[in-house]
Amino acid sequence: MDRRKFLRTVAATGTAAAGASTLSAPAIAQGVKQFKMVTTWPKNSPGLFSSAHRLAERIAVATDRKIQVRVFAAGELVPAFESFDAVSQGKAEMYHGVEYYWQGKSKAFSFFSGVPYGLTALEHLAWIYFGGGQEVWDEVSAQFNVKGFVLASTGVQMGGWFNKEINRVDDLRGLKFRMPGIGGEVLRKLGVAVVNLPGGEVYPALASGAIDGTEWVGPWLDMNMAFYKVAKYYYWPGFHEPGSVFSCGINKKLWDGLTKDQRSAIETATQAEANFQMCEYQARNSNSLEVLVAKHGVQLRRYSDELLMEFAKTTREVLAELGNTDAATKKAYTSFLNFHKESVSWARIGDLAFLRARDTAFGKG
């Protein structure tokens, strides 16, 4: 069914059945569209489900409540990792998640989420908005009838939780460690027995000794997970994710049929939520770090320069392999690398130089 025919059907019947088309059936009453937003998040999880919920409300407000969005936790409508397919096929209108979850469809998606030694929060969003990232992403997603939008980045993550000190690569070999994504590939190459576990299973696995360590996000969400109760050392910095970037996607056929103002309103809603959520990570991470150390006696440990350089060397290898998987991934990789190069040069005399001077003058010593 093409869009025009679909719209005529909607007009005639006040509703529409999702048939052979990939377009879903928003319940239409008095011009109000009802969207289902499936997410990859547990119900009410802070910084994740809460953000999807706020995004839904922003979309409603910004469209004069002509688009209403109902948010579903992982598993409520479809399992977490089927969210993309659900939107692609029209079972849901939108998803909220992280693009690397769709790596199985195209390795290119990795570049729109978290890349080891990649881009920091604002750098990553800047690449997508202004550096050609969105255009590459649109090409990749359009193959699946999806239009994607970037949301918040978590900011620089922590390296993870261990029960023994890690000084050199040998100390990592054979450890069972939870780390998803490209970072996990890097550790695997270095001899780590990398495992991936859904959020709810990580704490019990660490408590029982089924895994030796885990990374999660940063001080805020890691404190919520109470890892400090079952792990002693908290390593930094998280080379593997200078930020996990969240995203949402909308059924492309549906998107193309919205009015110009509705599309602008949705874009504005995503950009606002990205900003607000990034700032929440920033504020709560710094506050939680203090609590973890002062109240829970967490011992912070810095990855040695030797380890950080090993991680970097292996990251280059893994990214080069990944980036050459297929034409679309190569395009994303090349665009990302170009922006990365400029960002590293600018950070050296901008953010890095400032933070270094500030730390020397105002840090605790």
Site for a second copy in 208-247 (CB under 8 A): 218-219, 236-239, 242
Distance of alpha carbon 273 from alpha carbon 152, whole angstroms: 7
Among 71, 195, 278, 318, binds a second copy (CB under 8 A): 278
CB of 101 to a second copy, least distance (A): 23
Helices 327-349 and 351-362: crossing angle, nearest 10°? 40
Distance of alpha carbon 262 from alpha carbon 171, whole angstroms: 54
Stretch that binds a second copy, among 64-72, 74-82, 135-143, 179-187 (CB under 8 A): 64-72
Report if residue 363 touches a second copy, rule: CB under 8 A.
yes
Stretch that binds a second copy, among 44-52, 168-176, 185-193, 267-275 (CB under 8 A): 267-275
Of the candidates 116, 262, 105, 242, the residue with the CA atom closest to the CA atom of residue 187 = 116
Distance of alpha carbon 324 from alpha carbon 165, whole angstroms: 36
Of the candidates 12, 29, 61, 16, the residue with the CA atom closest to the CA atom of residue 254 = 16
Among 21, 63, 88, 329, binds a second copy (CB under 8 A): 63
First to last CA, the chain: 66
Pairing of strands 146-153, 193-195: unpaired
Among 142, 210, 279, 320, binds a second copy (CB under 8 A): 279
Helix (H) or strand (E) holding 294: helix 260-294
Among 11, 61, 142, 210, binds a second copy (CB under 8 A): 61
Among 10, 28, 32, 122, binds a second copy (CB under 8 A): 122
Looking at residues 168 to 187 of the shown chain, list those that interact with a second copy (rule: CB under 8 A).
Answer: none
Report if residue 362 touches a second copy, rule: CB under 8 A.
yes
Distance of alpha carbon 272 from alpha carbon 282, whole angstroms: 15
Stretch that binds a second copy, among 9-17, 37-45, 192-200, 296-304 (CB under 8 A): 296-304
- State which residue, 21 or 270, has the beta carbon closest to a second copy: 270
Looking at residues 138 to 157 of the shown chain, list those that interact with a second copy (rule: CB under 8 A).
Answer: 155-156
CB of 9 to a second copy, least distance (A): 26
Report if residue 314 touches a second copy, rule: CB under 8 A.
no
Report if residue 158 touches a second copy, rule: CB under 8 A.
yes
Report if residue 131 touches a second copy, rule: CB under 8 A.
yes
| Burial class (CB within 10 angstroms; exposed 0-12, middle 13-18, buried 19+) of 231 | buried
| 3-state secondary structure at position 246 | strand
